[in-house]
Amino acid sequence: MEKQEIYSELHSIRNLMERSAKFISLSGLSGIMAGVYALIGAAIAWYMVYGQNNYMDFQEHFVDQNGLLWNLFYLALAVLILSIGTGILLTLRKAGKTNQKVWNPISKKLLFSMLVPLLTGGCLILILFFRGYYGVIAPTCLIFYGLALVGASNYTFEDVKWLGLMELFLGIFAALLPGYGLFFWTIGFGLLHIIYGTIMHFKYDK
């Protein structure tokens, strides 16, 4: 009994230390939902760009057809807003269940470590967008998102780091095949998010 009590005390101390040093209110369900939104968005984008054609090569003549470029931009923006909104709502819900404050020194550091690469990448993506370098936008999204996740992992679950590294690897590989941006975008923001979210949900969401 004494050993069990000691182990129980050590476990409680460890939990308290993790709560004070890490932001643990991230919800695995938010990752799953972000992946679902990305898959739906990718399916819509596929139909918008390729229609009934069964090929994936990058086609320059599609870019400005009937405002397609801006429609794709708005679609990506909608997916981003839905993902962020759902993430915030589910994080608030999980924080309420665990009696955690969402806005605290750790969450501020987490947010800052993510915003620097995300805002930098966002500015670069807009430059690429308006200058017509469409073939490298998807790899750029994946690379800067991966950098943001790796930086954020210092202040939350270590699993986030592995997702970030996979996004980085996928982005670099996608840069070698610019004609398949939508394919890599679907894997990175869709499938990987769903896999990551599922693992996080069963591992940490209780």
| pLDDT digit string, tens, across residues 140-166 | 999 999 999 898 888 877 888 899 999
Cβ proximity of 190 and 35 under 8 Å: yes
CA distances from 65 to 50, 60, 110, 126 (A): 12, 10, 41, 20
**If you compute the radius of gyration of the chain from its CA atoms, what whole number of angstroms results?**
20
Residue 98 backbone dihedrals phi, psi, to 5 degrees: -100, 5
Residue 103 backbone dihedrals phi, psi, to 5 degrees: -100, 100
Residue 205 backbone dihedrals phi, psi, to 5 degrees: -80, 115
Write down the number of H helices and E strands in the chain: 8, 0
Return d(Cα 170, Cα 27) in angstroms, integer.
Answer: 24
For 14-48, the pLDDT digits (tens) are 554 444 445 555 777 888 999 999 999 999 988 88
Return d(Cα 186, Cα 39) in angstroms, integer.
Answer: 6
Helix ranges (H only) for the chain are: 2-21, 28-50, 68-97, 105-131, 137-152, 159-176, 181-185, 192-204
For 94-132, the pLDDT digits (tens) are 777 767 777 777 778 878 888 899 999 999 999 988 888
Query: What single DSSP character describes residue 52?
Result: T
Domain ranges of the chain: 41-204
Residue 55 backbone dihedrals phi, psi, to 5 degrees: -145, 165
- pTM, two decimals, is 0.79
Residue 13: pLDDT band (50, 70, 90) is very low
Task: Say what the pLDDT of residue 4 is.
Answer: 57
Average pLDDT over residues 163-172: 93
